[in-house]
Chains A and B, each alone.
Chain A
């Protein structure tokens, strides 16, 4: 049985199959309705993440399956001190597949060791969030038509932003990827990523603090939120959070076909005036996330539609 704990748990072939299936579902969603009838998805959310949970639940409902679960630790057995491994053993007998969100890193991996149903990591602390990465890849594939030969700019919190780390890890597997890393000094990408992923694979990259200057080179601009909880003091947060805001003025420098992605929720790093720009695809991205989760659920359940 296959679990998806890290984005790299999927081989290039599996990934390509999932993205093609998602594309087929996108073009003819009715054809797939009902294919998971009688199947249950458990959403085990030890911390609230309404957006991710609803995306998983919508995906399962679109396939005609049903959902059960909890949406915070205090409404679950975890509040009574039950271990992840005990919870998953029990849930394995109630559901056919599960999506687990947990504030502690490695919790979904622990679950996968003891589970008799496929476990999908729906985010574990600052570690992995593979379905966000799948969503990002599917968005790029759908709107750009390909995943190779792209220059991708990442802007904002590149130090703690797990979506950034995962997407870089996924994109280096495609030929001729190039990265432009735009962040304040304090929030540059971690050393391990620079050395073990980028430099180890001879991937061209550039680090800068000036978003406008590099804008014309980008095929994709991936914006991220500068999260308050990552900072030890308020002063640092206030000083840095506004440094890398995307607005209409900066968009003038962008190519006509550049895409703006954002994992959402957004705070103020993208001015709302940008929302009407056709290059702003972050809401489309959230929509596409449902289709790629449908494809993942079908694949892990071994369900095919002729």
Chain B
């Protein structure tokens, strides 16, 4: 049984933009992972109004920093032996390949299917990614 209040070992992905939890659930392929997952939607947040939270119980081997590409404002609470041992924002990767897709209909990736969709971090402060081919900003 997953104890929603406190995890023994795992991660709490907090401050997810309201409505964004399922996208992250799907991206991490949590359905296939051997761990218990609790998704809390529309939780009240003093900072954000509403937010989503995902709690994952179990040893985490996933690359969680990549989640910053999907939502740069989320936070990661790493929990070991019932305690938060680390609380941080994701370190935004400088370049990401195959995680997000360029939506610009004029981009070369729209016609050449075998090209990998690749983005580079253009602004760390804004969590802004640009397509390396057409330079269009990725809109979440």
Contact = CB atoms under 8 A, between A and B. Distances in A.
A126 interface: yes
A125 B132 contact: no
A124 B132 CA distance: 14
A125 to B, nearest CB: 4
Given A105-B107, A105-B136, A110-B133, 17 more contacts: A83-B112, A84-B108, A84-B112, A104-B106, A104-B107, A104-B108, A104-B110, A104-B111, A106-B107, A106-B108, A106-B133, A107-B133, A109-B108, A110-B115, A125-B106, A125-B134, A127-B106
23 contacts: A83-B112, A84-B108, A84-B112, A85-B112, A102-B108, A104-B107, A104-B110, A105-B106, A105-B108, A105-B133, A105-B134, A105-B135, A106-B107, A106-B108, A106-B134, A110-B108, A110-B112, A110-B115, A124-B108, A125-B134, A126-B106, A127-B106, A192-B137
Interface string B111-140: 110110000000000000001111111000
Interface of B: 104, 106-112, 114-115, 131-137
A230 to B, nearest CB: 12
A103 interface: yes
Interface in A189-233: 192
Contacts of B110: 104
Nearest to A102: B108
A109 B107 CA distance: 11
Q: For the side of the interface on A, what is the size category?
A: 10 to 19
Interface of A is mostly: mixed
Interface of A: 83-85, 102-107, 109-110, 124-127, 192
Contacts of B104: 105
Given A104-B107, A125-B106, A83 B134 contact: no
Contact of B106 (A84, A103, A109): A103
Nearest to B134: A105
B108 A107 contact: yes
Contacts of A106: 107-109, 131-135
Nearest to A106: B133
Contacts of A103: 106
Contacts of A192: 137
Contacts of B107: 104-106
B66 to A, nearest CB: 23
B88 to A, nearest CB: 27
